[in-house]
Structure 1
């Protein structure tokens, strides 16, 4: 079942590197809202640059909770011991657009441990896995990133000869952020991620889709995240108090 158009789910893209989140208090009990097995959907019109032009398309964000295995990071569908499970908030983000001749279909999945983990003690929502699949008429690509306590592991399978099948690894730095994970963190569903007006410098793994478009080697980058003061926005005749978030890094 689905939760459609819930105010706490509304996000509006304001910049290539920015989002606005509706200014609401975190649920007193996160599990009362998210533990019912239903998904929450938000739909967007997008303008996607590709091949030196911009293309109209659409995107959907699907938020839902599920348990994954602590070691394999795969969804639990069997009678596994509780200590082998991690309760996650999953974000599936789809993107579809035409380049004039052929269509692109992209999906990114992010799995976030609701109660955090050893890498960020005391902080909720720690990224555990990010995957991306992209399909177009040339072929398709799949990439998976596993975020462990002390390291980040990537595995890429591509139809391009120069990419092919390869793996990569980075030590997990302090103040690490996955750009794909930010839409979960900045919703602040279990308390503040940053204070109003705060600017934070982090080590960021850019969106997998950005790597896909640029065909660049995987790398961590120095990035700056900013949380603005609440401001009013109008959506379909209803006014909401929203918080602007922006982030930037070199070559974004």
Structure 2
């Protein structure tokens, strides 16, 4: 069967529109040996989280793993081998934070899905928070080049069930860009949506803000990503190793309140394992939690 030049051109255009531009200056052969081995990287952290004006002792966990994702539906594919051009490789970060405020606990989780080889913004970001008053869930989905649509489901009256939209970068995708390669981090002044965790703590409206981003050398083997918002109320610092796979060693979030007081939340790594955790769900596998120094 002969394929016309026009038909072939349309096919090539369609494929190009699906794949988009590729990330540059990254050795994906070496990258894949670490990230495509069928396991996840799990790191645990001692956490100090400010809430209600006081520092709370808790625990955080970062889980990084690659997955095959649906471009159209923005969900993990059940049968990627049948997905064709709908398939896109992403790196997923799940970040959990657990701490106690007085008598009741907080359980929080953030998930970020960022294309690995294709140079695109994160396709989906969502965050949930559960505590004894109730729970909330927020999700944003990439709809075009840099445009997001989001929804929040909350038990708070002023938030209710609402939707919003914005254009620009997201603070939460910076974690994955570090892990892909720090050269993917936007340097300088950018229009950025603060973290969904930050919004949960402050209940601020969903809007972008000018932020200044830089990467600093803090030691011979460690770098630091610093994000400073133009309002002067928030600074994020993430410490990571200079060499691949750019493991995250800790972070610090500084918030300046209206009265000038400063609250500093921070985390320091205490454990690390590379493991296919989804297969380790038996009682006999609980020793892995001890190896990660997990308490919650």
The verdict on a shared fold, with TM-score over 0.5 as the criterion, is yes
Residue aligning to 2:264:
none
Residue 107 of structure 1 pairs with residue 109 of structure 2: yes
Whether the 8 Å CA contact 1:35–1:65 is kept in 2: the answer is yes
Change (3 A) 1:47 1:127: same
Unaligned runs of 5+ in 2: 1-25, 235-296
| Equivalent in 84, 87, 97 of residue 86 of structure 2 | 84
Whether the 8 Å CA contact 1:211–1:218 is kept in 2: the answer is yes
Find the aligned partners of 2:88 and 2:29 in 1 and give their Cα distance.
21
Higher gyration radius (CA): 2
TM-score (norm 2): 0.65
Instruction: Count residues with an aligned counterpart.
Output: 205
Residue aligning to 2:183:
192
Q: How far 1:222 sits from its partner (Å)?
A: 0.3
Q: How far 1:230 sits from its partner (Å)?
A: 5.2
Q: How far 1:223 sits from its partner (Å)?
A: 0.3
Whether the 8 Å CA contact 1:27–1:190 is kept in 2: the answer is no
Q: Deviations over 1:186-213 (max 9, x none)?
A: 23x347235xxx9511111110011111
Residue aligning to 1:71:
72
| Equivalent in 163, 178, 185 of residue 167 of structure 1 | 163
Of Structure 1 and Structure 2, which has the larger fraction of its residues in helix? 2
Unaligned runs of 5+ in 1: 1-24, 117-122, 233-240
Find the aligned partners of 1:222 and 1:58 in 2 and give their Cα distance.
30
Find the aligned partners of 1:230 and 1:69 in 2 and give their Cα distance.
38
TM-score (norm 1): 0.76
Residue aligning to 1:12:
none
Residue aligning to 2:97:
95
Whether the 8 Å CA contact 2:95–2:110 is kept in 1: the answer is yes
